[in-house]
Copies of this chain bind each other. A is one copy, B any other.
Amino acid sequence: MSNRALSLGEAARLVSGTLHHGRDEDTICGVNTLAGSDASQASFLANRKYAGDFEASAAGVILLAEGTLPDTQRPVIRVGDPYLAFAMLQRHFHPDVQASGERHQSATIDPSAVLAADVDVGAQAVIGARVRIAAGSRIAAGCVVEDEAQIGEDCLLHARSVIGAGCVLGNRVIIQSGAVIGSDGFGYAWSGREHLKIPQVGRVVLENDVEIGANSCIDRGAIGDTIIRTGVKLDNLIQIGHNVDIGAFSIMASQVGISGSTTVGQGCQFGGQVGTAGHIKIGDGCKIAAKSGVAGDLQAGGTYAGIPVMPHRVWLKVSALLPRLPGLWSKLTSLGFK
């Protein structure tokens, strides 16, 4: 990786920061944690929980926010957002692998599929009829891309992911291992004798720069499409129901479940294990704490928590009072309440 080594001066320019107490020409060839780094590596202080590791760190340089630890005399690059600067350095040192047009001989590629020349297809992968895959995309071992699916440029499908029939991926989409894009939505009508399955004939559309976590499931629309918009990032083991629409740049931690026909706005942030009802609207920019349950529409810009959700500031008070409920009860009981 030495051919991607950076001088401290180059590193500071790359992250739009300023170098203090360090020599421009010293070099780094990687990034590591404060505790784990050596003199050839940069590190960063982004979470104050790790501030105690700062002085003892052997890092060659440390990415640090403007106002933090103003008196330090060690080499630092001061930046607006150390975590973002860390990301930028890390991307420099670990660039994406480029597609090379390798098609493993054990892969099954339908003759009617149209793949750009440089598309990689891994061992035991299956590419169905009339599939289209654009330039730069890589399909890892064991993936199944079903008939008529379309995959844009520079996508990366990790091992054993499934793209269902007719589903559409934009450019630079990443699918982690085992994810299922285009499973049937959960739709039945009770006939009086059985749950009659309703054919799920819509698609899943993942727009540009979407990432879907390992073993997550995105159901196809019952009619029409399930849409995950530009730049959305979904963690592992997430369930997205049929005809859900998730707004651009929203981000959800693992094990979230969004029920069918719900609309999530742009720029939302969901903690892990959040669940929502179906057929509701969650406004732009909502933040929902881990484990919350959302039963109805939520106004844009709010921060929510609880089951069912309430404003987060209320939830903080409620959750602090819950363990004190038995004491209150005893007191009231002693006064004759019951």
Contact = CB atoms under 8 A, between A and B. Distances in A.
B279 A257 contact: no
A265 to B, nearest CB: 16
Nearest to A314: B323
Contact of A273 (B31, B215, B257): B257
Interface in A128-173: 128, 140-142, 144, 146, 158-160, 162, 164
This protein's copies in its complex: 3
A115 interface: no
Contacts of A187: 87
Given A87-B196, A189-B84, A239-B255, A159 B177 contact: no
Contacts of A57: none
Interface stretch (A2-10, A18-26, A66-74, A324-332): A324-332
A144 B142 contact: yes
A223 B36 contact: yes
Given A189-B83, A257-B254, A194 B209 contact: yes
Interface in A277-331: 277, 279, 290-291, 293, 306-308, 310, 314-315, 317-319, 321-323, 325-326, 328-329, 331
B176 A178 contact: no
A323 B325 CA distance: 12
A45 interface: no
Contacts of A160: 142, 144, 160, 162, 180
A174 interface: yes
A201 B88 CA distance: 14
Contacts of A209: 194
A177 B199 contact: no
A183 interface: yes
A2 to B, nearest CB: 16
- Which of A84, A106, A237, A241 has the most CB atoms of chain B within a 10 A radius of its CB? A237
29 contacts: A33-B223, A36-B223, A86-B189, A87-B196, A90-B198, A90-B201, A91-B199, A106-B108, A124-B124, A126-B159, A141-B144, A142-B162, A160-B162, A183-B213, A186-B213, A186-B253, A195-B231, A213-B217, A215-B217, A217-B237, A235-B239, A255-B275, A273-B293, A306-B323, A310-B322, A314-B326, A317-B325, A318-B326, A322-B325
